[in-house]
Structure 1
């Protein structure tokens, strides 16, 4: 197995991407918001197995091209295999994006749930800007974790017993200060884009609300439940002492750590395939235009 973490998470990526967007909303972005009417060349930073390419290429004008870049050699291998079965113009590059030197030649640079994993996200964002032609676009599909958790409802329990928003907010902020990796980058990204010189910056929010409905057909219910579990919903927190120590090491107070552990434990006991649950990931989609002097 590859030593690169995400090379070993291909199934996770495949099973969870569908939680974030409805296909018609992506079509709305391409056609009504970005108004892409001519063929474009896209570079995808942290492309994984090419998820965005699979979603966007069928919506783009004929003649558009897609270049995916990722550090994961297994991910790039999977992407090449997947796209060998379709007729789109694609290229995939396995490399360390932090060391990547890209020419200013693309119409659009995108990332999807990638910048949050970088401890130098502004450096990567600057690379994205530098790879785009004048009047091209930079687009970031990035999460807002505390917003995600606020948009989750498990029927039959007090939400404050299973989702400790105040503790989670502090935990995410502490992680960002300690590591530079920002799970809430989606809500900050419009500001960063404008500060780095992008023009006409806007931000949208994904429309998908996942509803685990006990009246839906069994196949659909099982698939959605599996995706939610893969995303971490109802995951058992493990040994109490070890879990609490880990949270304390992430700079929570012991009482806060125990509260968070108890919340995760309660969620794991109450969430199952027979639960009623709604979850709106509210992915933030920020974009701006490159205008060179």
Structure 2
């Protein structure tokens, strides 16, 4: 069953603090992509409420226009409201990333930010991005590498770097991909897909964002980071035995042994980030990969 994003506004807004550093995005726009030289027509696939647009639009040339579309009508509506009074020329419409409601060869830049990792056929979405981008235009994607994220996460008090069962996360992500086609490690693979589609000058960069949460959590900014970390998975802390058993069965169904599943579940329950996380020294890297390439002329 496809993921539903209709009710995800609050979690998406909270997680923004974990994605990219503003100065790094400015570096990409001006030094790498060079999309701040002249006004451009920009389209975003799976735009949500415009989270990435709010970071990007202040960095591009004045006079640029932005069209974002998403299948979640509630998020599109939020985007329209948020940008209604903005100084930018924006349009938010409802549409499917597999069948973009956009004319062919009509945009200078097309973007899919944290989208391909949620679709069963990322190549189809990339082909749609290619279709609507003019010759000489730029395709940009950004997606996760969850195996890498889990490997890089460190919580000092629980010795995360040495105690986490990395093979479990690899098995779970592999099982999800085999079952549904959804690949939570698509970030490091997208450049290959772009090359195979015939894009030119294909390149990639990794987000530089590493978020620190150290005690005391005594400011609104620290509290925001803590809640974002919880919403991204660290806060899952079931207490009902039936829910824990469902968790165990779900992990085992992905090809993990019962012994390994039990060890990791017990470890995460003891870690109890939801209740103890404010006292932990946590270092979390986003591990997102930007891939980009040019449409042949």
What TM-score results when the alignment is normalised by the length of structure 1? 0.93
Aligned mates of 2:295, 2:133 — CA distance in 1: 7
Change (3 A) 1:125 1:54: same
Equivalent in the alignment of 1:233: 234
Residues 160 and 88 (structure 1 numbering): CA distance in 2 closer, same or farther, change over 3 Å? closer
Stretches of structure 2 lacking an aligned partner (at least 5 in a row): none
Q: Distance in 1 between matches of 2:153 and 2:125?
A: 31
Matched with 2:10 is 11
With normalisation by structure 2, the TM-score equals 0.92
Q: Is the 2:151–2:166 Cα contact (8 Å) retained in structure 1? A: yes
- Which residue number corresponds to residue 272 of structure 1? 277
Alignment check: 8 A CA contact 2:95 2:101 kept: no
Alpha-carbon distance, 1:101 to partner: 4.9
> Which deviations, in whole Å up to 9, do the C-alpha atoms of 1:181-231 show, x marking residues without a partner?
000000101111111111111110111110012267533222211111121
CA contact (8 A) 1:198 1:290 kept: yes
The answer to whether the 8 Å contact 2:154/2:161 transfers is: no
Q: Contact 1:116 / 1:142 at 8 angstroms: preserved in 2? A: yes
Residues 201 and 289 in structure 1, CA contact (< 8 A), matched pair in contact too: yes
1:125 aligned partner:
126
Counterparts of 2:111 and 2:287, CA distance in 1:
18
- Aligned residues of 2:17 and 2:225 also touching (Cα < 8 A): no
Q: Give the match for residue 177 of structure 1.
A: 178
Report if the CA contact (8 A) 2:70-2:93 is conserved. yes
- Tell me how far 1:242 sits from its aligned partner: 1.7
Structure 1 Cα separation of the partners of residues 109 and 136 of structure 2: 9
Closer, same or farther: CA 160–263 of 1 in aligned 2, 3 Å: farther
Q: Which moved more, 1:89-98 or 1:61-70?
A: 89-98
- 3-state secondary structure, aligned to 1:98: coil
Residue in structure 1 matched with residue 257 of structure 2 by the alignment: 253
What per-residue deviation string (whole Å, max 9, x for no partner) do you get for residues 114-168 of structure 1? 1111011110111011110011000001110011111111012232675211111
**Residue 282 (structure 1) aligned with residue 287 (structure 2):** yes
Cα displacement (A) at 1:69: 0.8
2:217·2:223 contact (CA, 8 Å) conserved in 1? no
1:32 aligns with 2:37: no
Query: Which position in structure 1 is the counterpart of 2:76?
Result: 76
* Distance in 2, Cα, partners of 1:160 & 1:262: 17
Gaps of 5+ in 1: none
Q: Separation in 1 of the partners of 2:29 and 2:162?
A: 40
Matched with 1:46 is 46
